[in-house]
Amino acid sequence: DPYSSDPERHPVLRINSKKPFNAEPPPEILTESYITPHVLFFKRNHLPVPQVDPASYRLQVEGLPRGALTLSLKDLKTRFPKHTVTATMQCAGNRRSDMNQVKEVKGLNWGISAIGNAKWSGARLRDVLLAAGFGPDVAKWARHVHFEGLDKDVTGSAYGTSIPINKAMNEDGDVLLAYEMNGEDIPADHGFPVRVVVPGVVGARNVKWLGRIVVSAEESSSHWQQYDYKGFSPGTDWSKVDHASSPAIQELPVQSAITVPADGAQIDRSDETLTVKGYAWSGGGREVVRVDVSLDGGKTWQVAQLRSGDKGQPDEPSPPPGRSWAWKLWELTAPLPPDADELEIICKAVDNSYNVQPDTIPPIWNLRGLLNNAWHRVKVKVTE
């Protein structure tokens, strides 16, 4: 069993698939902390977790005219400045289960917790590429940076993807070759000893157990770049799908979800007020500037309180414009609407480009169930 050496996991996680291991935390626990503890952080593995010996670990940096650069873990830690970024990571399949209910889609049935926020530390990819010989001549032809994991399928091909060179080389891009998560060595499930962190970009590009980096004029030819993680029209079915016609997902759209109360929860009418909680985030470093909440199915709206830190603690300092990589947690306490036996609670976020979430799923439905960012709705019963 290639999965027999997989690490232990926290029993509270909701498992979507055991082998490979895919799981997410219960929503109400997810938003209890601004920084997601690694045990609760969603785990999205396509293959068995590779066991990597940190002493013999080597990272290959290839594709540059000077030839390959080989770095040990110690090289990464000592030859490059350590940089720390708080960044939210979200799987493109987050909230797929709701899309699946509109019409069947193909993929793991994720709820709303295939997202997490962590403090990542490591070397900047930019610094490593500069040390490997990236310069003005390379900039003339280089368009993409490929990443390959050390996890391999039965045919021996590794998990791999690529990102645009501009994101990799931009001083404000904050792309990391991370060796720490929340101040500790990156745990096995999250890519020990080194993973790529591409803030603002879909989870799939944040390659774990990083073994190889290649600077190239072309996108990665891997399955995950070319035949997965792409968006399509609601009218496209499996007989018509042409993967070459759609670009690979990189920056994600604006997102929010309600974590408390849970769908189907019972609220006591004598409570008089109701507290609604959730998360909100946008891709590409765009900052969430507002979250609107409705307790009556969208007829009336109230503005939720946003925070970028733990409850009762000061907020983290605001990042410079264009580098808002971390989510905001939000909360609204409002009077319970009188006379209603059932409430439809809705949330929707707005980012600083005034991007908004679509109100329903059907216009954004797609056969892989990706990129569901429709208004999130939960129904609760009000009981005597």
For Mo ion, which is the closer residue by CB, 167 or 368?
Answer: 368
> What are the φ and ψ backbone dihedral angles of 69, each rounded to 5 degrees?
-110, 130
Nearest distance, CB of residue 202 and Mo ion, angstroms: 7
The correct pick among 14, 46, 223, 290 for binding ligand MTE (CB under 6 A) is 46
Which residues in this chain contact Mo ion in the complex, by CB under 5 A? 44, 91, 203-204
Question: Does 261 engage in binding with ligand MTE (CB under 6 A)?
Answer: no
Query: 159 to each of 17, 29, 204, 211, how far by Cα in Å?
Result: 18, 30, 10, 10
The correct pick among 48, 122, 149, 164 for binding ligand MTE (CB under 6 A) is 149
Which of Mo ion, ligand MTE, none does residue 45 bind to, with CB < 5 to 8 Å depending on kind?
ligand MTE
Whether the Cβ atoms of residue 159 and residue 207 lie closer than 8 Å to each other: yes
Nearest distance, CB of residue 198 and ligand MTE, angstroms: 10
For ligand MTE, which is the closer residue by CB, 44 or 348?
Answer: 44
Which of ligand MTE, Mo ion, none does residue 164 bind to, with CB < 5 to 8 Å depending on kind?
none
Which of ligand MTE, Mo ion, none does residue 208 bind to, with CB < 5 to 8 Å depending on kind?
ligand MTE
Three-class secondary structure assignment of 148-198: EEEEECCCCCEEEEEEEHHHHHCCCCCCEEEEEECCEECCHHHCCCCEEEC
Residues whose CB falls within 8 Å of the CB of residue 29, separated by 6 or more in sequence, listed in order: 12, 40
CA–CA distance, 2 with 47 (Å, rounded to integer)? 9
Q: Which span (43-51, 135-143, 162-170, 329-337) binds ligand MTE, by CB under 6 A? A: 43-51
The correct pick among 34, 41, 80, 134 for binding ligand MTE (CB under 6 A) is 41
For ligand MTE, which is the closer residue by CB, 134 or 327?
Answer: 327
The residue with its CB nearest to Mo ion is: 91
Token pair for 370: 């990706």
Write b or e for each residue in 90-118: b if 16 or more Cβ atoms lie within 10 A of its Cβ, otherwise e: bbbbbbbbbbbebeebebbebbbbbbbbb
Whether the Cβ atoms of residue 122 and residue 83 lie closer than 8 Å to each other: yes
Site for ligand MTE in 82-121 (CB under 6 A): 89, 91
Query: 376 to each of 10, 14, 90, 324, how far by Cα in Å?
Result: 27, 20, 16, 22
Site for ligand MTE in 184-213 (CB under 6 A): 189-190, 203-204, 206-209
Residues that bind ligand MTE (CB under 6 A): 41-47, 89, 91, 149, 151, 159, 189-190, 203-204, 206-209
